Structure 1
Amino acid sequence: MTAPVWFLYPAAALAEIAGCFAFWAWWRMGATPLWLLPGMASLAAFAFLLALVPADHAGRAYATYGGIYIAASILWGWAMEGARPDRWDIAGGLVCLAGAAIILLGPRSA
């Protein structure tokens, strides 16, 4: 049994962003290489969660996820790095979420 899509996409985004941030912290911020271990585990969790998304095609799942990821990245920057989104970040994030919704919820022919 899979979790609902409304949970899987944000959970996958959080896992991917956290995993990538662990690499960023090591490479760009001078954090200890030990950050790479939870980073790799988080990236593996991301791949697992995205694979659970109930979609007919992987490409469609990834395309939908892209919009969620962009919006989540803006929120991550604000919550974890103090980079408050400006109106362009917000507008771009909303456009991406609208695109993701169209892909996810659009009627499909049988």
Structure 2
Amino acid sequence: MTVIRSLVLFVLAALAEIGGAWLVWQGIREHRGLLWIAAGVVALGVYGFVATFQPDPNFGRILAAYGGVFVAGSLAWGVIVDKFRPDVWDCTGAAICVAGVLLIMYAPR
């Protein structure tokens, strides 16, 4: 149950951070305006709160592991939202990052 909770929190954090950054990007680079930017800033703030609910008490471990989730999640966001087509190196790099997440967070201690 703890691993499932942790994985769900990582996915929620990724949606908030990647979605927030995307909204800011759209607001500035695609000239969509201040409302998009403001929504992005709020989403980025939500990301900061979601991470605090991780069951592991170590900030450094959580943030290090989340880095791998962010890499894979960013590529997935690009595929789903922006119709980006990752190449074999993008996918290989993301797989390595996800393996790192699994080692950092869920290896027996």
TM bucket, shorter chain: over 0.9
Q: 1:91 is paired with a residue of what secondary structure? A: helix
RMSD: 1.4
Q: Which amino acid aligns with 2:60?
A: G
Structure 2 length-normalised TM? 0.92
Runs of 4+ in 1 over 4 A off after TM superposition: none
CA contact (8 A) 2:72 2:97 kept: yes
How do 1:1-110 and structure 2 match up within 5 A?
4-108=5-109
Shift of 1:94: 0.2
2 CA distance for matches of 1:49 and 1:56?
14
CA distance in 2, matches of 1:53, 1:37: 26
Tell me the distance in 2 between the aligned counterparts of 1:31 and 1:37. Answer: 11
Q: How many Å apart are 1:86 and its aligned residue?
A: 1.1
Normalising by structure 1, what TM-score?
0.91
5+ residue gaps, structure 2: none
Per-residue Cα deviation, 1:8-56 (whole angstroms, up to 9, x for no partner): 0011001000101111111211111111221111111111111111113
Q: Alignment identity in percent? A: 36
Unpaired runs of 5+ in structure 1?
Answer: none
State the alpha-carbon separation in 1 of the partners of residues 61 and 55 from structure 2. Answer: 10
Q: Deviation per CA, 1:42-88, whole angstroms, max 9, x where unpaired?
A: 11111111111111310000011111110000000111111111111
